[in-house]
Amino acid sequence: MPSNLRRNQDHFVAPEEETPLQAIDAVSTDDKPRTVWSDAWQSMRRRPMFWVSAVLIVLILVIAAFPGLFSPVSPTANCQLADSNGGPAAGHPFGFTRQGCDVYARVIYGTQSSILVGVVATLMVAIFGSIVGALAGYYGGILDAILSRVADIFFAIPTVLGAIVFMSVVPERTPLVVALVIAVFAWPQIARIMRGAVLTAKQADYVVASIALGVSRWRVLLRHVLPNAIAPVIAVATVSLGTFIVAEATLSFLGIGLPPTVMSWGNDINAARQSLTTSPMVLIYPAAALSVTVLSFLMLGDVVRDALDPKERARR
């Protein structure tokens, strides 16, 4: 008799027919296996911040793609100096700029350039940084040493500072050129993250088993390592998109980003400085649009990062 049981104490054990071993040990084969992405989706959909940021981002993207649906007034036509720094009027809810142009129309149409620069720069950084980081982490050796030192050189240069130097000598300043210049100095962060994720993923048992079965290393990298190492890159890229929008606005505000003929929030904030004391709302509206957009992407990035982190999901 076990020492922890009292003498003459009744003990009840459920009959075996009530708890058959088959029912206890049975494993359901009808349910589909859960993946990292399905677990992440289940985690994100339960958070209100995800839905708020997603709705805002979808609205911003629709405005950027179809600005005419939200502003029937042209941002450059019918600019009357008689309306200079005028307040809200019928059909012009945000008032007028120093040149007599509709502030609301400029905010709506300025979304296109700012979002375009952010999205293109993010794609460039994510693709190039992922390639460099994956090659360095997977093959290692001299290739890892060379790519890592090149990344360290670019990582030591602040993105905005390097972009200022480049944009000051670029003859043509288009949204694609601005995005390219930003991407040139921003890719090392993604490369470092991808390299670390690949170093972890390539030690997994399924990778070792694939190599033992004779699968080529290149195919193992594409089929097994990259899909399991891309999660942190997606989270960081989502946050970086908002950062790149701020970088474009900073360059345009300094007068070396997009030219004044291209509508962007940075150009509008720069132009509004002259009217800050007499008509501060001319500056507040594009600044508010910039803040809401960046905040939306930062919120979404935080949610995605937490959802893709198993430890964070366990705490929740």
The least confident of 3-12, 58-67, 193-202, 222-231 is: 3-12
Q: What is the DSSP string of the chain?
A: --TTSPTT-------TTTS-HHHHH----SSPPP-HHHHHHHHHTT-HHHHHHHHHHHHHHHHHH-GGGT--S-SSTT--GGGTT---BTTBTT-B-TTS-BHHHHHHHHHHHHHHHHHHHHHHHHHHHHHHHHHHHHH-HHHHHHHHHHHHHHHTS-HHHHHHHHHTT-S---HHHHHHHHHHHHHHHHHHHHHHHHHHHTTSHHHHHHHHTT--HHHHIIIIIHHHH-HHHHHHHHHHHHHHHHHHHHHHHTTSSS-TTS--HHHHHHHHGGGTTT-THHHHHHHHHHHHHHHHHHHHHHHHHHHT-HHHHHH-
For residue 24, pLDDT over 70 is answered with no
Which pLDDT value is given to residue 128?
94
Is 86 in contact with 100 (CB distance < 8 Å)? yes
| Residue 280 contacts residue 298 (beta carbons within 8 Å) | no
pLDDT band at 316 (very low <50, low <70, confident <90, very high): low
The answer, yes or no, to whether residue 14 has pLDDT greater than 80, is no
Average pLDDT over residues 164-180: 88
Overall average pLDDT of the 156-178 stretch:
88
Residue pair 282/98 in contact (Cβ under 8 Å)? The answer is yes
Amino acid type, 44: M
Q: Is residue 5 scored above 80 in pLDDT?
A: no
Residues 6+ apart with CB under 8 A from 295: 242
**Is pLDDT of 173 > 70?**
yes
Domains defined along the chain, listed by start: 94-315 (1.10.3720.10)
Distance CA 41, CA 166 (A): 40
Phi, psi dihedral angles at 223 (to 5 degrees): -90, -30
pLDDT of residue 122 exceeding 90: yes
CA angle 199-308-40, nearest 5°?
Answer: 140
pLDDT in tens, 35-45: 667 777 888 88
Query: How many Å apart are CA 268 and CA 273, to the nearest integer?
Result: 9
What is the pLDDT at residue 202?
Answer: 85
Contact 136, 191 (CB under 8 A): yes
* pLDDT value at residue 92: 75
Inter-residue contact 283 to 272 (CB < 8 Å): yes
